[in-house]
């Protein structure tokens, strides 16, 4: 990488720690640290104030530092999937420009409150966790187009999910759902509702109405 480069990829080098050379690249816009056996992310990450994309997937992180919320220019992608995270610091709610967030394959039992303040999110992936419910504050993600919740422990959804007027895709596969709110039927742009591997729902008439509007309902 030259001094002028805006991208640094250290993918799959099994580094075990973030090398010092990263902190010498203050104007980095893309940083890829995926698949490096990282157990810790130094607070110095908050110094990279020009980052637009950060990939920390496939590591062994149990926490991320509060300073990650200082990356207010982070707007393209944040990958935190396939780690050991059970919570996120409140400071991540400051990532108001972020459009894509992947939290899949972690240890979340509660939906992280900070995510509901990421007002620009277009796509959220939080599959393969242990979420038991979504908070009503999910309604704040008014720009969200894709919500992927496969393989969690959800038994229902809040009625407030009907406020996600831009939602196109909702993946609920493999959850023990006992009910769904009728507000889903009012989502004006919903194109795909995936209910495969769910055998515990009643036969809602409004699901048929959704299909009649052109929404693909997989069940």
Which domains can be identified in the chain, with CATH numbers?
1-126 (3.80.10.10), 131-219 (3.80.10.10)
- With a cut of 80, say whether residue 1 has pLDDT above it: no
> Taking all residues of the chain, what is their mean pLDDT, rounded to a whole number?
96
Q: Please state the φ and ψ torsions of residue 79, each to the nearest 5 degrees.
A: -105, 120
Q: Quick one: what percent of the chain has pLDDT higher than 70?
A: 98
Burial 37-76 (b: 16+ CB within 10 A, else e): ebeebeeebbebeebbbbbbbbbebeebbebbbbbeebbe
> Quick one: pLDDT at residue 22?
97
Dihedral sign computed on CA atoms, order 133, 74, 105, 37 = negative
- With a cut of 90, say whether residue 87 has pLDDT above it: yes
CB 175 within 8 A of CB 199: no
Q: Which long-range contacts (CB under 8 A, 24 or more apart) does 166-174 make?
A: 166/142, 168/192, 169/145, 169/194, 170/194, 171/127, 171/146, 171/147, 172/198, 173/197, 173/198, 174/150, 174/198
Helix, coil or strand: residue 91: helix
> Quick one: pLDDT at residue 23?
95
Q: What is the pLDDT of residues 187-218, one digit of tens each?
A: 999 999 999 999 999 999 999 999 999 999 99
Give the C-alpha separation, 135 to 161, whole Å: 9
> Quick one: pLDDT at residue 83?
98
Q: What is the pLDDT of residues 13-71, one digit of tens each?
A: 999 999 999 999 989 999 999 999 999 999 999 999 999 999 999 999 999 999 999 99
**pLDDT band at residue 2, thresholds of 50, 70 and 90?**
very low
Q: What is the mean pLDDT of residues 123-130?
A: 98
For 41, residues 6+ apart whose C-beta sits below 8 A from its C-beta are 18, 56, 61, 63, 64, 65, 68
**pLDDT band at residue 5, thresholds of 50, 70 and 90?**
confident
Q: Quick one: what percent of the chain has pLDDT higher than 90?
A: 96
Q: Which two tokens stand for residue 164?
A: 């996600």
DSSP state of 166: T
């Amino acid at each position: 990488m030259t001094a002028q480069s805006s991208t640094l990829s250290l993918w799959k080098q099994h580094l075990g720690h973030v090398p010092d050379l990263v902190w010498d690249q203050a104007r980095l816009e893309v940083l890829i640290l995926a698949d490096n056996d990282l157990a810790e992310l130094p607070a110095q990450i908050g110094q990279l104030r020009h980052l637009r994309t950060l990939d920390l997937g496939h590591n062994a992180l149990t926490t991320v530092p509060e300073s990650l919320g200082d990356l207010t220019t982070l707007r393209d992608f944040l990958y935190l999937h396939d780690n050991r995270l059970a919570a996120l610091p409140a400071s991540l709610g400051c990532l108001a420009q972020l459009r894509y967030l992947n939290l899949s394959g972690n240890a979340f039992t509660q939906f992280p409150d900070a995510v509901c303040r990421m007002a620009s999110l277009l796509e959220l992936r939080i599959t393969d966790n242990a979420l038991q419910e979504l908070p009503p504050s999910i309604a704040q993600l008014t720009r969200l187009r894709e919500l992927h919740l496969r393989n969690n422990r959800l038994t229902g959804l809040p009625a407030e999910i009907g406020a996600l007027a831009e939602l196109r895709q909702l993946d609920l596969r493999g959850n023990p759902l006992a009910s769904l709110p009728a507000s889903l039927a009012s989502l004006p742009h919903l194109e795909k509702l995936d209910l495969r591997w769910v055998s515990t729902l009643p036969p809602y008439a409004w699901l048929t109405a959704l299909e009649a509007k052109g929404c693909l309902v997989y069940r």
